[in-house]
Amino acid sequence: MHNHEISIKFTIFESLEELSDNDKELLQKAIDVRDHAYAPYSDFKVGASVLLDTGEIFLGNNQENAAYPSGICAERVAIWSAMASVPHGKIKKIFISACSGKTVVDRPVAPCGACRQAIAEYETKQLSSIEIFFTGETGKIVKANSIKDLLPFMFDNSMLL
């Protein structure tokens, strides 16, 4: 029997003001694009911004569809837009913000399982960690240093060998 420990690290910011100026700008872009999400069924809007190693920023928001589950999450919209435009770029950071027309989202909203898997794919592909910042419309902001902090037993291409 082997005893293994898993270390998961998070940083919690009490407000936007605790972030660096660059991170504030990236989170604000996620907030701004969130407000343009197409969410007529759930009324739950999510925005995401992705920073590449080139300095380029890509945005995404959730896009719902009456034919569930044909919609897509903000994180994947932003990631796939970035990778379609800059296929050899490396994702440095992802910022996510969520709000609801039904209630105030006052706690951090982490990426769903499908988005975690998409982030894991690119983190594995680029051989470097992706910082993930997530928040609601008010309240704390959580920063994970890697998708491995959100998905410690992640499935990746090494399982297919």
3-state secondary structure of 19: coil
- Say whether 75 is catalytic: yes
The one catalytic residue in 17, 64, 75, 121 is: 75
Active site residues: 75
